[in-house]
Amino acid sequence: MKHVFLLLAVLFQGMILHARQHDLNITDYGAKSDGVTLNSPFIQAAIDACAAKGGGRVIVPAGRFLTGTIALKSNVTLVLQKNAFIVGSTNVNDYLNLDPFTDGLGVDVGYALVVAVDQQNIGIEGEGAIDGQGKQLKEIQIATDKRPEGERWGRRPFLLRVVRCSNVRVQGVKLLFAAAWTSHYFQCNRLHIEGVKIISHGVAHNDGMDIDGCQHVTIANCDIESGDDALCFKTTSSTMACRDIVVSNMRLKSGHGAIKMGTESMAPFENIKISNCYIYNTNNGGIKLLTVDGAHLRNIEISDITMVDVKTPILLRLGSRLSVFRKGKDTQQPTGIFENVVIRNVKAEASANAQLKPPSGILITGVPGHYITNVTLENISIRLAGGGTAEHARQVVPEAIDKYPEVKTFGPLVPAYGIWARHVKGLKLNNVSFTLDSNDVRPAFICEDGEAITVTNWNIPATTGAEAVIRLEQVGSAQIRNNKVQGKAAAFVRVERSNGSNIKVGKNRLNGIEPARYIHH
């Protein structure tokens, strides 16, 4: 009898699981792929019916199904079969904003084509695509919306928004030509994104993948071509950090930044690992880590990155813009913290046509009184155009304490061709090499206002006419050892505004260059 009860229990459990796994085809609820019918109510009816039955799959068969906003529900997976397209309406009035907020530029946004708010156990998968028709929507919108573009674009819908959801899977689908951000995941827990192809450009603000205050996230094997930032971590609210995230095996092409944290940066960015990424044809930073609205950015590891034709490979910024993005729900925060970041195994070919001319490889800067702390850059190789002059080597870089954090904010150029760092403590730079296509008399490395700086095992290319290979300004302590210099300069290390007592220079191969020169003023 015990075995009978056990068998009945197993069968009953199987019946429950089967009952909860329904397949509902949107065409059975009235959806038509004629390119004219607005299918929002029919697709929504299929989703609602599936949720009411306990969950299952809503099938989008082959065809092009025009629609406005559709909202996913708990325990429902939207399955786009091969050659299936969910196509966004070109009428902005067909979209809803179920979770309004303000973006980093101060624009009210949040409308979406496919959206889920406060749901669990949801998914989007299959071999089909979601096409936002962003360029066509914009052309129709501007015929009647006469506001400036900076205000007008917020009315356009994101392609996919997932808000405060748990157990989310997005796999295999293509996300195409959004009218604004392509995919935005806000305060989600247990999020898995894999094998997603994003092609989204043609209008401004075409971010590829925005991870906004999400936790326990895995992202793997995705291919992103975006007009704006490709893979971007944000915290538009102070209440939930971006935490416990693993990213691997990504191809990223971007009109702005390829891998980015910030600018919206109120809650922490913590325990994030990114590895094995190929970044190419990117018109701004390859890696941009930015906290300017109070966030603690710490315990970040980025490794095994290849960059080809990227403008300014790395930007690290701690600033004091201190914006608020959720109106009436958040308050302004004090300046944040930037610490414990490791970037290793990076090979980059920097574009000659960059925001900074002549171009530079890496910018690192805090603000007065707020230091970027314990950053390690290791096994870094960057090819640069060169071309810097003696005048360029003395360029004064603006603090831009409360400004939008962008490479061009610190332009038109910075005085080091390799790494320029300011307001830093515990900066470790190991096994760094540069290749220059032409002579550059700017220093390979400049540090302004630093403490506990370590420069080891560098391979510095042959240049002539430089005042110094390394310049340290107002640096309290530094270790500069085991570096190889191939060219000629007036000095290897030039120390300014410091007595140099705690700056140790030794065991370097200098090709006859004077090891150090101390300028007291």
Domain ranges of the chain: 18-228, 284-521
Q: Are strands 209-212 and 445-451 parallel, antiparallel or unpaired?
A: unpaired
Q: What pLDDT shows up at residue 21? A: 79
Q: What pLDDT shows up at residue 17? A: 36
Q: What pLDDT shows up at residue 520? A: 66
Kindly give, in sequence order, each residue whose CB lies less than 8 Å from that of residue 1, ignoring residues fewer than 6 positions away: none
Tally Cβ neighbours within 10 Å of residue 30: 13
Q: Could you check whether 18-228 and 284-521 share the same CATH topology?
A: yes
Instruction: Write out residues in the chain with pLDDT < 70, as ranges.
Output: 1-20, 520-521
Q: What pLDDT shows up at residue 103? A: 86
> In 3D, which of 366, 465, 379, 346 has the Cα closest to residue 425?
366
Element (H, E) at 183: strand 183-186
Q: What pLDDT shows up at residue 499? A: 86
What are the two backbone dihedrals, phi and then psi, of residue 221, each rounded to the nearest 5 degrees? 55, 40
pLDDT in tens, 110-128: 999 999 999 999 999 999 9
CATH of 284-521 given 2.160.20, 3.30.70, 1.20.120, 1.10.760: 2.160.20
322 secondary structure, DSSP code: -
pLDDT in tens, 140-153: 999 999 999 988 99
Q: What architecture is the 18-228 domain classified under in CATH?
A: 3 Solenoid (2.160)
Q: What pLDDT shows up at residue 105? A: 84
Say how many residues make up the chain: 521
Q: What pLDDT shows up at residue 521? A: 57
Q: What pLDDT shows up at residue 87? A: 98
Cis peptide before 144 (omega within 30 of 0): no
169, two tokens: 């899977």
Distances (CA, A) of 130 to 43, 107, 175, 183, 474: 14, 25, 5, 11, 54
Distance from CA of residue 459 to its chain's centroid?
30
